[in-house]
Structure 1
């Protein structure tokens, strides 16, 4: 049996590998506290659940959606005006995604031909690169360095690379580094994209999960941004709708139209009750957003401060639902540290190398357990003796 050449680019997904490691431990009767996958465990508000339940009880809602409801697009436009100060044409500048992961996996197919260059952060969330690779792209990594506050330095990208690049994927607040970008950086991003005729895709999944300052804004709020790109946004983390798979591509009308055309040939739209739940989430009482942000802030403080107390010095991350931590001295790789932490403390995290070469020497911790389990994880790590070596 013969398979496509593109599959040679893909190994087993890192989170599948970690899940197998976890299951092997559990088969031995050992408890594992899994902080590897960013699976939110904070449920939607009662109002959102009620909207979903009522729509799911209506037998008329089990037809193919085919396309987005007009009410959904209008809700997104109102949300972006109210929350980000960005005017969106609901008829031309928004299309839903079956989660940002799906959108990121397919988006490059609308832009990339075989051999085209795509600029991606290093480290980055894996699908930022995997999606373009599926489309046949050649990736050019843009290093995110600690000494540069994990900001992409556009001056480091050679002109000949920038001139042949068709797409650039960026994301702040950033997964996995948790970094935020100041306004001037977005202005530089727009100018760079215009100079080299590059389409920008900005992933804005974590704009609400900012802890020690005001929540983040939108890439599209910066002058000229809509001329050069689009923004992905998601209801997974902010509204607890991760399993429902709700995301949006918003911005440049031509780009949105092309993606909508591709999706019309790939799926039959988002389940109508889920569309109803999404409308309820972004138009309803927003106190749930503050409650979610506060829950993650408490978890961050608990974990980061607790780790520092036992000898693993981790600063408080500024945003997202993750912690990006340097591995302790004495370990040759992030993967070695992850395996040691699992075997000796029963705590599972993700090696930074899974996010790209520049992630080596770090691990990503997902704040997906309540504070009691976070404290249990810290106590297990203390007892392991790993951080007293």
Structure 2
């Protein structure tokens, strides 16, 4: 069999995730500290796990409605209004998905016409799946570089330059992975003003919405005047509730678009996992305190990393959300890939090169602080020793 001629070129040409490469390498090494994967180290809070267990004990193992259990959609609507001032009709504008990634895939499938050169603006550095999902849907990903001096935020000026007659959508992800950047209301307002009178859709990935630091709460672009009709809102349970393995997310959108996305979801997935939906119901109703406890712990880790890295000479933009830092490694004279490879082999610490998140990530690395203080402290000692070794080599 000539499999090369059989496999779809579009799928074959997609590059594997740069995150997993270093994670897999680290897994082969003894005594290696991996700071590469963005997964909470907390267990799912017991009350949420217990709800899932009880649903199984009661035999609630059937398919649900394609869009999800009505009570879960009602709880999502209540949660979004209570936490983020967002108003969606649970019957027609909300659907439960198999993780936030499926929701983004569904949004792109619903919007893009294959072969017509329709463009999706993707601000980067960004999560690794956006461009590949766009390509699989027959769209054209258009990278829009973000800059540390702008706080890795989208600016209206930068967005205006990226828009063309072919622009169909923009993917916004704040708080951001890998940078931890946050867009407050004052940053979102000029972007919304630019988009409000266009037919450009915003796919707003807000999986880290609960993980912001400081007194200001997260603000969604979908909550700004006149923007709800322009937005496909994506959120989920993986990050805020430490529920990565439960594979549950949700999407909110105008009824006309939601109808199409649910139709695709129906044929591809049928419905999100039933057990996970019953667990999510408790998370939405009773999980605020668990979120806050984890958020405070992340905040301590964030401060530890930012202070230590800056003292080492790795200039670190202060992230205001998510659980990542994105320090510059330009002072070492190494590329992002060289820095990560040499650190891994010299000190057995795995971090992710910034280029895994787009070309504009060159000169940076991503370090996750979804690990314990002890884990991070040991990693920082090893990174410091590695930098000292580099310095000694350059002086010899």
TM-score range, shorter chain: over 0.9
Residue 218 of structure 1 and its aligned partner are, at CA, apart by 2.2
Match of 2:15 among 1, 11, 15: 11
Distance 1:371 1:275 in 2: 32
Structure-1 residue corresponding to 2:27? 23
Residues 312, 387 of structure 1: 8 Å contact kept: no
> After superposition, what is the alpha-carbon deviation per residue over 1:224-278, rounded to whole angstroms, capped at 9, x for unaligned?
1111112111111111111101111113222222111110110121222211111
Distance 1:200 1:190 in 2: 10
TM-score by length of 2: 0.92
Structure 2: 5+ residue runs without aligned partners? none
Structure-2 residue corresponding to 1:152? 154
Structure-2 residue corresponding to 1:118? 120
Distance 1:317 1:376 in 2: 21
Structure-1 residue corresponding to 2:187? 185
Residues 100, 232 of structure 1: 8 Å contact kept: yes
Distance 2:364 2:281 in 1: 38
> After superposition, what is the alpha-carbon deviation per residue over 1:167-208, rounded to whole angstroms, capped at 9, x for unaligned?
110111111121111213323333332333101111111121
Residues 121, 162 of structure 2: 8 Å contact kept: no
Q: Are residues 178 and 141 of structure 1, via their aligned partners in 2, closer, same or farther at CA, if it must alter by over 3 Å? A: same
Structure 1: 5+ residue runs without aligned partners? none
Residue 8 of structure 1 and its aligned partner are, at CA, apart by 3.8
TM-score by length of 1: 0.93
Q: Are residues 57 and 71 of structure 1, via their aligned partners in 2, closer, same or farther at CA, if it must alter by over 3 Å? A: same
Structure-2 residue corresponding to 1:292? 294
Distance 1:243 1:163 in 2: 40
Structure-2 residue corresponding to 1:254? 256
4+ runs of 1 displaced by more than 6 Å?
Answer: none
User: Which SS does the other structure have where 1:167 is aligned?
Assistant: strand
Aligned length: 384
Q: Are residues 313 and 360 of structure 1, via their aligned partners in 2, closer, same or farther at CA, if it must alter by over 3 Å? A: closer
Which aligned pairs between 1:11-160 and structure 2 lie closer than 5 A? 11-24=15-28, 26=29, 30-59=30-59, 61-67=60-66, 68-114=68-114, 115-157=117-159
- Higher mean alpha-carbon deviation, 206-215 vs 241-250, is at 206-215
Which aligned pairs between 1:320-331 and structure 2 lie closer than 5 A? 320-331=322-333
Residues 118, 139 of structure 1: 8 Å contact kept: yes
Residue 101 of structure 1 and its aligned partner are, at CA, apart by 1.5
Distance 1:251 1:259 in 2: 9
Distance 1:370 1:175 in 2: 19
Structure-2 residue corresponding to 1:228? 230
Residues 335, 351 of structure 1: 8 Å contact kept: yes
Q: Are residues 113 and 128 of structure 1, via their aligned partners in 2, closer, same or farther at CA, if it must alter by over 3 Å? A: same
Q: Are residues 65 and 92 of structure 1, via their aligned partners in 2, closer, same or farther at CA, if it must alter by over 3 Å? A: same
Residue 335 of structure 1 and its aligned partner are, at CA, apart by 0.4
Residues 185, 219 of structure 2: 8 Å contact kept: no
Which aligned pairs between 1:209-228 and structure 2 lie closer than 5 A? 209-228=211-230
Structure-2 residue corresponding to 1:345? 347
User: Which SS does the other structure have where 1:195 is aligned?
Assistant: coil
- Higher mean alpha-carbon deviation, 15-24 vs 248-257, is at 15-24
User: Which SS does the other structure have where 1:141 is aligned?
Assistant: strand
Structure-1 residue corresponding to 2:336? 334
Residues 219, 231 of structure 1: 8 Å contact kept: no
Match of 1:365 among 364, 367, 378: 367
User: Which SS does the other structure have where 1:103 is aligned?
Assistant: helix
Residues 105, 127 of structure 1: 8 Å contact kept: no
User: Which SS does the other structure have where 1:90 is aligned?
Assistant: coil
Distance 2:193 2:318 in 1: 32
> After superposition, what is the alpha-carbon deviation per residue over 1:91-144, rounded to whole angstroms, capped at 9, x for unaligned?
111111211122223321111012211111121111121211110111112221
Residue 386 of structure 1 and its aligned partner are, at CA, apart by 4.2
Residues 97, 246 of structure 1: 8 Å contact kept: yes
- Higher mean alpha-carbon deviation, 88-97 vs 141-150, is at 141-150
Residue 388 of structure 1 and its aligned partner are, at CA, apart by 4.3
Residues 196, 227 of structure 2: 8 Å contact kept: no
Residue 81 of structure 1 and its aligned partner are, at CA, apart by 1.4
Residues 124, 355 of structure 1: 8 Å contact kept: yes
Distance 1:157 1:317 in 2: 22
